[in-house]
C-alpha cells in the first residue's frame, strides 16, 4: 500500500496571538490544503515524528528517539489531553524491526506527548482518539543531540518497516523551521530552571499558566521587535525546504547542531522530525513534494512551513 507525508511547523501560539488577518488567512488556507491532501490519501495509520518541550521528556532520562507503545497527551497550551489511539502491537513490531537494523531506540508504554507532537493531528482530524497513530519522539530541544545523519538513518529504518505494509501510511513530521522560543536550555539554565528541566513533570496549574504566559508575552513583544530572542531566518528555512524538495535526504547530513543554534535558533532542531519523516518516505521510494507553504510569522515565533509529499 502507498505512503505519503505531511510535515508542518507547529506553534502553541496559534490560538493565543494575533498575526495580521492576511497572515492568519494564509495559514488557514495552508491547513485546508493539508487537510484536503490527508483526506484524499485517507491513511489507515499515522506515523507521527514529534518533539517535546519538557512536558513529557526531561533530563532525568532523555533518549534521542522513543517509540510509544501507549501514549497520552499532556494538555499543555490546551492541546490534546488524555489517551491516544496507538496500535500497540504495530509499535512493538516497529521497535523490534528498528533494533534489528542496528539502530537503537527507547520505547515507552506510557509516553506523554505535548503540543509539538499532537498539533498536526488536531489540525487534520480534530482529535487523537480516532485515527490510529504511532507517536515517535525525536529529541529536538535537549542537548546532547545525535548527528542529523543518525536521525536520517532512524527515519529510513522506520520507512523500510512500512514499505511493504498492507496499510496506507502517512508519515508526519511536526516542528521547525527557524525559531527560538523562550524554552530554557540546560547550558544557561538557572538552578530553578535546571530543576524544572530535570524533573518538571506534572507542573502545578499556576506554574503551567506562568510558563505559557511567558511564551505569549514573548511572541507579542517579538512581533513588535522588542523581544530578546533570535530572529527567524527565512534564508535558512528556504535552504532547508530545498533539501526536502531535492529528494536526496543525505543532503540533511550537512546540518550541524552548533551552526543551527547560531543561524536558526535553539528550537530549529525540531526540523529533525522532518528529517525523520522525509527519510522514512524516501525509504519507501522516490518522492515528490506536492505542496509547500512558507511564511516567517513572528506572532507564532516560527518560520512556518507546511509541505506534503507522495511517492512518484
Ligand X SMILES: O=C(O)/C=C/c1cccc(O)c1O
Task: Give residues in contact with ligand X (CB under 6 A).
Answer: 10-13, 53, 116, 179, 181, 183, 211, 215, 267, 301-302
User: Of the two residues 118 and 280, which places its CB atom closer to ligand X in the complex?
Assistant: 118
Q: CA 112, CA 260: separation in Å to the nearest integer?
A: 27
From Fe ion, ligand X, none, interface partner of 135 (C-beta below 5 to 8 A by class):
none
The residues carrying an active-site annotation are 115, 179
Strands of 190-277 (E only): list them: none
User: Of the two residues 111 and 117, which places its CB atom closer to ligand X in the complex?
Assistant: 117
From Fe ion, ligand X, none, interface partner of 298 (C-beta below 5 to 8 A by class):
none
Handedness of CA 237, 171, 96, 50 (dihedral sign): positive
Q: CA 15, CA 77: separation in Å to the nearest integer?
A: 9
Write down the residue that cell numbers 532525568 correspond to. 60
Measured from the Cβ of residue 122, the count of other Cβ atoms closer than 10 Å reads 17
Q: CA 304, CA 186: separation in Å to the nearest integer?
A: 26
Strands of 215-275 (E only): list them: none
Which cell is 78 given? Answer: 490546551
Q: Which residue is nearest to Fe ion (CB)?
A: 116
From ligand X, Fe ion, none, interface partner of 282 (C-beta below 5 to 8 A by class):
none
From Fe ion, ligand X, none, interface partner of 12 (C-beta below 5 to 8 A by class):
ligand X
Give the DSSP H/E element, type plus range, for residue 290.
strand 287-297
User: Of the two residues 116 and 296, which places its CB atom closer to Fe ion in the complex?
Assistant: 116
Q: Please report how close the Cβ of residue 206 comes to ligand X at its closest, in angstroms.
A: 15
Q: Which three-class secondary structure state does DSSP give residue 143?
A: coil
From Fe ion, ligand X, none, interface partner of 11 (C-beta below 5 to 8 A by class):
ligand X
Q: CA 17, CA 121: separation in Å to the nearest integer?
A: 21
Q: Please report how close the Cβ of residue 141 comes to Fe ion at its closest, in angstroms.
A: 8
Q: Please report how close the Cβ of residue 209 comes to ligand X at its closest, in angstroms.
A: 12
CB contact set of 81 (below 8 Å; sequence gap of 6+):
72, 73, 74, 75
From Fe ion, ligand X, none, interface partner of 269 (C-beta below 5 to 8 A by class):
none
User: Of the two residues 94 and 301, which places its CB atom closer to ligand X in the complex?
Assistant: 301
Burial grade of 142 (CB within 10 A; 0-12, 13-18, 19 or more): buried
User: Of the two residues 189 and 311, which places its CB atom closer to ligand X in the complex?
Assistant: 189
Residues of the shown chain interacting with Fe ion in the complex, contacts defined by CB under 5 A: 116
Q: Please report how close the Cβ of residue 234 comes to ligand X at its closest, in angstroms.
A: 16
User: Of the two residues 52 and 281, which places its CB atom closer to ligand X in the complex?
Assistant: 52
Q: Please report how close the Cβ of residue 116 comes to Fe ion at its closest, in angstroms.
A: 4
Q: Please report how close the Cβ of residue 101 comes to ligand X at its closest, in angstroms.
A: 30
- Phi, psi angles (nearest 5°) of residue 302: -160, 135
How far out from the chain centre does Cα 96 lie? 23
Amino acid at each position: 500500500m502507498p505512503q505519503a507525508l505531511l510535515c508542518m511547523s507547529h506553534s502553541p501560539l496559534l490560538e493565543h496571538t494575533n498575526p495580521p488577518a492576511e497572515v492568519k488567512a494564509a495559514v488557514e488556507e495552508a491547513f485546508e490544503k493539508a487537510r484536503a491532501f490527508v483526506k484524499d490519501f485517507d491513511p489507515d495509520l499515522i506515523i507521527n515524528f514529534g518533539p517535546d518541550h519538557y512536558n513529557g521528556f526531561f533530563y532525568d532520562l532523555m533518549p534521542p528517539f522513543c517509540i510509544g507503545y501507549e501514549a497520552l497527551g499532556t494538555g499543555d497550551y490546551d492541546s490534546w489531553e488524555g489517551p491516544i489511539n496507538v496500535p500497540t502491537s504495530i509499535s512493538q513490531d516497529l521497535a523490534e524491526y528498528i533494533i534489528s537494523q542496528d539502530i537503537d531506540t527507547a520505547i515507552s508504554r506510557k509516553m506523554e506527548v505535548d503540543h509539538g507532537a499532537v498539533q498536526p493531528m488536531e489540525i487534520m482530524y480534530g482529535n487523537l482518539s480516532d485515527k490510529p497513530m504511532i507517536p515517535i519522539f525525536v529529541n529536538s530541544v535537549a542537548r546532547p543531540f545525535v548527528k542529523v545523519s543518525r536521525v536520517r538513518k532512524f527515519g529510513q529504518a522506520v520507512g523500510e518497516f512500512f514499505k511493504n505494509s498492507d496499510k496506507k501510511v502517512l508519515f508526519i513530521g511536526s516542528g521547525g523551521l527557524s525559531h527560538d522560543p523562550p524554552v530554557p536550555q540546560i547550558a544557561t539554565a538557572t538552578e530553578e530552571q535546571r530543576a524544572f528541566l530535570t524533573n518538571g513533570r506534572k507542573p502545578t496549574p499556576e506554574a503551567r499558566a506562568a510558563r505559557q504566559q511567558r511564551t505569549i508575552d514573548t511572541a507579542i513583544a517579538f512581533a513588535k521587535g522588542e523581544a530578546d530572542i533570535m530572529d527567524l531566518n527565512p534564508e535558512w528555512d528556504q535552504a532547508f525546504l530545498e533539501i526536502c524538495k531535492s529528494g536526496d535526504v543525505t543532503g540533511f547530513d550537512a546540518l550541524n547542531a552548533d551552526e543551527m543554534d547560531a543561524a536558526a535558533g535553539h528550537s530549529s532542531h525540531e526540523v529533525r522530525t522532518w528529517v525523520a519523516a522525509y527519510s522514512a518516505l524516501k525509504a519507501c521510494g522516490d518522492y515528490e513534494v506536492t505542496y509547500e507553504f512558507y511564511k516567517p510569522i513572528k506572532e507564532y515565533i516560527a518560520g512556518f512551513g507546511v509541505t506534503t509529499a507522495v511517492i512518484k
